[in-house]
Structure 1
Amino acid sequence: MLKLEGLTTTFGKTCAVQDVSLSIPAGQFVGVIGRSGAGKSTLLRTINRLAEPTSGRVIWRDADMTGVSGSQLRDWRRRCSMVFQQFNLVGRLDVLNNVLMGRLTQTPFWRAVTKTWSSEDRALAFAALDQFDISGLASQRADQLSGGQQQRVAICRALMQDPEIILADEPVASLDPRNTGIVMDALALVNRQFGLTVLCNLHSLDLARGYCDRLVGMANGRVVFDGTPAALTDAAARELYGMDADEVIGPDRAAKPPVA
């Protein structure tokens, strides 16, 4: 179980995350929702220590992750893998080597520099790509792919870290509707088939309601809603999003269910 206890993160005089306390069972798919600037991205970055908490604790399986450093911090970031909005791939490298970069915490750095990965690592990378129907792209440069393809490559790279948690920070914000569905299906597959805990920042409430087991709504750095998608009524959404509510509620109330 992932536990956040009074988690607070400040930047100068700005308090981006304020006294957040949550308990997230292993294997749950959690959608983090709220307006831009609500603290969603900072919350995810604080969980895996890309942003340092000012106070509070991040606990995973009864171990406090807020005080670890060095090799223990690297191991925590391996187990708590990030998927970013802008993919963060190396455009000049082919897809296979981008995916294999996920093994850097578990293999000598010289293998990445010389591209002499072990046969076992290469097999794992091809298997990950095959899971998301993109193994045929292994030899293509990453910067030649569509946005949806690049994000699936980024998810494969995250899986190569052998994580227990996936933190997806606005993973579909820059994608068209078709690729949005493909990437959300990929995250659902990671959650359902591999049993990984997924925390995913989302702007669209249709997506959040259609894919997530639980929604956590944030406003001004605080958690102001925590419940099932069914419990987030349009009235509650309007209170959470204010004037932006009509934009995020959307006309389609029957979101496509995730893949099994």
Structure 2
Amino acid sequence: MLVVENLTRQYGARRAVDGVSLSIERGSFVGVIGRSGAGKSTLLRMLNRLADPTGGRILYDGTDVTRLRGRALRAWRARCAMIFQQFNLVGRLDVMTNVLMGRLDQVPAHRSLLKLWSEEDRALALAALENFDMGGFAANRADQLSGGQQQRVAIARALVQEPEIILADEPVASLDPRNTRLVMDALADANRRYGITVLCNLHSLDLARAYCDRLIGLSEGRVVFDGRGFDLTEDVARTLYGLEAGEVMDRGEPETRPRPMRAPIRHAEALSA
């Protein structure tokens, strides 16, 4: 279980995240919602330790993540993979190499620098791409792909890390509706198929209700809502989004997706099956 205790991040006089406390169950798909500047990205970056908390603790299965340094911190970042809005791929490199970069923590530095990837690593990377219908693009340069394709490559790269948690920071913010669905389906598949815990920052309540088991609403760095999508009232939406509430509040019945419970399995075995 991932536990956050009174987590705070301060920039000068402003608190981007202000005393957040949460417990996240293994295998859940959690949407973090709120307007821009609410603290969503800062929260996820602290969980991955890309930003250090000003106060509070992050615990995972009893380990104090906020105290990790050096190799232990690098190992945590492999277990807690990050997916960014900007994809963070190396455009001049081919898709396969971009995905294999997710194995950097698993191989000696000299092998990765010389691109001496093992056959097992290559098979794992190709299987991850094929899971998201991207196997045929393995030899393409990453900058030749559409935004939705690049984001699916980024998810494949995260998967080959064999993470226990995926943190997705506004992964569909710059995508059209079709690619938005493809990327969200890819995250939902990673969650269901491998039992990976997913925390996903989203602006759209429609998407959040359709895909997430649980919603956490942030406003001015504080948790103001924690529950399921159908518990989110218009009053809470106005607290979260202010004048934007009318644009993001889904007034119809949200799309429901079957979420069969599957026991978590080892990623490498599943990808190579």
> TM (normalized to structure 1)?
0.97
Distance between the aligned counterparts of 1:252 and 1:147, measured in 2? 29
Amino acid at match of 2:142: A
RMSD: 1.3
Distance between the aligned counterparts of 1:33 and 1:125, measured in 2? 31
Structure 1 residue matching 2:5: 3-state secondary structure:
strand
The answer to whether residue 228 in structure 2 is matched with residue 235 in structure 1 is: no
1:32-111 correspondence runs (5 A): 32-111=32-111
1:216 corresponds to which residue? 216
Distance between the aligned counterparts of 1:100 and 1:202, measured in 2? 27
2:125 corresponds to which residue? 125
Aligned residue pairs: how many?
Answer: 260
Provide the identity percentage: 65
1:22 corresponds to which residue? 22
Amino acid at match of 1:155: I
2:265 corresponds to which residue? none
Structure 1 residue matching 2:38: 3-state secondary structure:
coil
Greater Cα offset, 118-127 or 228-237: 228-237
Preserved CA contact (<8 Å) 1:185 1:258 = no
Preserved CA contact (<8 Å) 1:206 1:253 = no
Unmatched 5+ residue regions in structure 2? 261-273
Q: 1:82 to 1:229 in 2, by over 3 A?
A: same
Distance between the aligned counterparts of 1:75 and 1:54, measured in 2? 22
Distance between the aligned counterparts of 2:171 and 2:258, measured in 1? 16
Structure 2 residue matching 1:66: 3-state secondary structure:
helix
Amino acid at match of 2:244: D
Amino acid at match of 1:57: R
Preserved CA contact (<8 Å) 1:99 1:154 = yes
Distance between the aligned counterparts of 1:95 and 1:252, measured in 2? 39
Tell me the alpha carbon deviations over residues 131-190 of structure 1, each in whole angstroms, 9 at most, x when there is no partner: 111101000000000111000000010111111000000000000000000000000001
Distance between the aligned counterparts of 1:101 and 1:142, measured in 2? 13
Amino acid at match of 2:51: A
Distance between the aligned counterparts of 1:259 and 1:213, measured in 2? 9
Q: 1:152 to 1:258 in 2, by over 3 A?
A: farther
Distance between the aligned counterparts of 1:8 and 1:207, measured in 2? 27
Preserved CA contact (<8 Å) 2:219 2:239 = no
Distance between the aligned counterparts of 1:251 and 1:94, measured in 2? 43
Deviation at residue 48 of structure 1 after TM alignment: 1.1
Preserved CA contact (<8 Å) 1:214 1:228 = yes
Distance between the aligned counterparts of 1:209 and 1:24, measured in 2? 17
Preserved CA contact (<8 Å) 1:34 1:240 = yes
Deviation at residue 62 of structure 1 after TM alignment: 1.1
Distance between the aligned counterparts of 2:256 and 2:228, measured in 1? 17
1:171 corresponds to which residue? 171
Distance between the aligned counterparts of 1:241 and 1:128, measured in 2? 36
Amino acid at match of 1:249: M
Tell me the alpha carbon deviations over residues 35-93 of structure 1, each in whole angstroms, 9 at most, x when there is no partner: 11000000000011100001100000111100010011001111011000000000000
Q: 1:258 to 1:134 in 2, by over 3 A?
A: farther
> TM (normalized to structure 2)?
0.92
Greater Cα offset, 244-253 or 114-123: 244-253
Preserved CA contact (<8 Å) 1:26 1:197 = yes
Preserved CA contact (<8 Å) 1:189 1:259 = no
Deviation at residue 112 of structure 1 after TM alignment: 2.6
Greater Cα offset, 86-95 or 235-244: 235-244
Structure 2 residue matching 1:3: 3-state secondary structure:
strand
Amino acid at match of 1:77: R
Preserved CA contact (<8 Å) 1:96 1:126 = yes
Distance between the aligned counterparts of 1:11 and 1:160, measured in 2? 34
Distance between the aligned counterparts of 1:163 and 1:57, measured in 2? 21
1:204 corresponds to which residue? 204
Amino acid at match of 1:93: L
Please list every run of at least 4 consecutive aligned residues from structure 1 whose deviation after the TM superposition is greater than 6 angstroms: none
Structure 2 residue matching 1:90: 3-state secondary structure:
coil
Q: 1:238 to 1:253 in 2, by over 3 A?
A: farther
Distance between the aligned counterparts of 1:252 and 1:106, measured in 2? 46
